[in-house]
Amino acid sequence: MPKPHRTSPGRHHPLGATVVEDGVNFSLYSRSATAVELLLFERFEQRVPTQVVYLDTRHNRTYGYWHVHVHGIGAGTLYGYRVHGPWAPQQGHRFNSNKLLVDPYARGIVYRDAASHRDALGSQDNVATAMKGLIIDTRGYDWQGLERPKVDPQERVIYEMHVRGFTRHPSSGVEHPGTFEGLIQRIPYLVELGVTTVELLPVFQFDEHDIDFVDSRTGEHLRNFWGYDPIGFFAPHRGYYIETWEHMRVLTGFRDLVRELHRANIEVILDVVFNHTAEGGEDGPTFSFRGIENSVYYLSQPGRPDTYANYSGVGNTLNCNHPVVRRMILDCLRYWVEVMHVDGFRFDLASILSRDELGQPMRNPPLPWEIEADPALQETLLIAEAWDAGGLYQVGGFPGERWSEWNGKFRDDLRRFMRGDEGLAGTMAARMLGSPDLYEAHGRDPQQCINFVTCHDGFTLNDLVSYSRKHNEANGEQGRDGSDHEHSDNHGVEGPSDDPAIEGRRNQQVKSLLAMLLLAQGTPMLLAGDELRRTQGGNNNAYCQDNETSWVDWDGLRRHADVHRFVRRMIAFRRAHPGLRRGKYLLGHDAPARADPPGYTRVRWHGTHPHQPDWSPTSHVLAYTLSRSHDDEAIYVAVNAWREPLAFCLPRPEAGFHWHRAVDTSLPSPHDIEELGSEPRWAEPEMVLPPRTVVVMVQR
């Protein structure tokens, strides 16, 4: 047995394991613990720790913080805690000194396999298989002088993607599929597509083995794929690293990815989950928070400390507005910005951040305001998914001023309108202007409205036009999971079809939906693979499908080259026309002359005839002109969302100008979207739009 390392009392801050001169300082918060042991390991598979450090309440505790300085150790050492205290669920305490616990501030976490999850259940000792913290030295990484990208918020185009799913498919052709390194190899594709910002599904360490279901088709035990069950908020997921410890000890894998995306002038946004953890409900595993200070980290049912509140839908809810939890969240965000250089965050089920310690919504919750006011976070993009599983829906009114929001109403209204539902023409007019009905009264700008048609949760764009209902049987829940409200249309056949007419309608609808998304004021967000018509076979909740259901099939570049081209050209068209992405809400053509800067874009509404908009419940038409401005041409947009062709009379162009057809989603490639500057002149006073068609004209 090696000689024990010398220890001294250490400091109670900063929290976590911090590499300092001559060793590592450890600090852990637990106000109710009666004793704490720090266990050190040289290798994961050790059944007996290299050293156990007993923390003394007299010398190693300050307030609720337990701390010690261990001399002579450094990066690469593994560690965990045993925390002693009462097992008293009726009082909110769930201490179990048999469990080896992960430091909530661990910068790295290692685990073996399903045994880490299995042995965290129950009350038995689990030191041999428990997840363990990995001491990380964050100093000394070479950023090669690269600064963060300076993306104009009005030019931002977000691309939501999964690190593993983007390159795991054999067709990706990368050297290390499914890893941070694999994604680096695909950066040129993102540059060519034209996106400015990638939004990564959770990269925090999560429990891959927390799913009890079996694929009903294969009998295979399912795994957590999405990663929305975090264990370590400070630790990049071990599964996204290539098999070398050196990459984890200094976090090069993730930081290499950020650095290379920044080299390509692409921002990095993390999808963060601060609403719950992987410890689940009362019978869930004990990994960390439950065994360290359960009553602080989690919300309980009012008057029932032994029962978790479940506003997240997965068994527990973080007590986000408790001072200790608020500190952890803020420390975490600062860490990912200052040390890992990320550019922003999308907050999953963000409405939970506004609940108090009784679970009630607060009028002015401290946490969202503290996040947006924090000096270290001033240059970051903050996006709220402004709802939660407890029924709180705050789209248009999320607390704070600087927050952007996922606009779920844009998604639902656009899907329904283009499907042919009634009563949506006026609503879609507002959506195309950046939803001023939702945001303008709250002082928000259009770019704070994040528009999307699809995201990880729900149908892909291909499946939206190929299935009328979800097909989630492979998830092992007898189809009970996933939304029943996709507002989809299979266009005559459920699932894949070799009928050219059906396939043609679907392809056109895909382009029409993408065109509407990229023509709308606000910030567009694309789902990775939609530009290749990626399918999940009708599964609208593929959280547990770590297989070809969820992986991007790069053969789609060949099969659906026209859609890929259309998306690339639509992004370029949007970038070339400032009138499509204004920083302030557009006024009507008849607004007072001094209501906005000279030469600013105005909007004028039409119907099938100029200046005669049809807002009736039976209308399936949307047409409008964006006026010529100091930096852009006039643009005319016409949409026929009806099932029959409709003739549209074009508004008369200005004297000396003519309309040129830029986009027509009913036409085959390459005429569905023309080259910038080479759009053919349209000489007729009207045009007939086939069903479900979007047409865009530019005036020259």
Residue found under tokens 């305001």? 369
Distance (Å, rounded) from C-alpha 108 to C-alpha 251? 8
Do strands 659-664 and 621-626 pair parallel, antiparallel, or not at all (unpaired)? unpaired
Phi, psi of 163 (to 5 degrees): -55, -50
Distance (Å, rounded) from C-alpha 402 to C-alpha 419? 34
375's CB contacts (< 8 A; 6+ apart) are: none
Kindly state the tokens that stand for 339: 């040390």
- Among the residues of 535-639, which ranges form H helices? 556-559, 561-576
C-beta separation of 53 from 7 below 8 A: yes
Distance (Å, rounded) from C-alpha 23 to C-alpha 135? 11
First to last CA, the chain: 82
SS3 185: helix
Kindly state the tokens that stand for 136: 């990380």
C-beta separation of 573 from 518 below 8 A: yes
Please state, in angstroms and as integers, the Cα–Cα distance from residue 511 to each residue in 38, 46, 230, 522, 682, following that order. 57, 56, 36, 19, 21
Residues facing 344 on adjacent strands? 269, 381
Kindly state the tokens that stand for 241: 């690293």
DSSP state of 641: -
Closest CA to 669 of 576, 570, 546: 570
Phi, psi of 530 (to 5 degrees): -60, -30
Distance (Å, rounded) from C-alpha 445 to C-alpha 459? 29
Active-site residue, selected from the candidate residues 385, 463, 489, 530: 385
Which helix H or strand E contains 7, and what residues bound it? strand 7-8
Active-site residue, selected from the candidate residues 181, 279, 348, 463: 348
Taking residue 74's Cβ as centre, other Cβ atoms within 10 Å add up to 14
413's CB contacts (< 8 A; 6+ apart) are: 424, 427, 428, 431
DSSP state of 236: E
C-beta separation of 105 from 246 below 8 A: no
SS3 505: helix
348 catalytic residue (yes or no): yes
Residues facing 19 on adjacent strands? 24
Distance (Å, rounded) from C-alpha 164 to C-alpha 240? 7
Kindly state the tokens that stand for 686: 């009207």
Distance (Å, rounded) from C-alpha 287 to C-alpha 277? 10
Please state, in angstroms and as integers, the Cα–Cα distance from residue 242 to each residue in 174, 253, 603, following that order. 13, 8, 52
Distance of CA 278 to the CA centre of its chain: 18
Which helix H or strand E contains 432, and what residues bound it? helix 425-432
Closest CA to 231 of 298, 287, 180, 312: 287
385 catalytic residue (yes or no): yes
Residues in the chain: 700
Distance (Å, rounded) from C-alpha 387 to C-alpha 365? 15
Buried b (16+ CB within 10 A) or exposed e, 494-519: eeebeeeebbebbbbbbbbbbbbbbb
Closest CA to 544 of 480, 476, 495, 486: 476
Q: Which residues are catalytic?
A: 348, 385
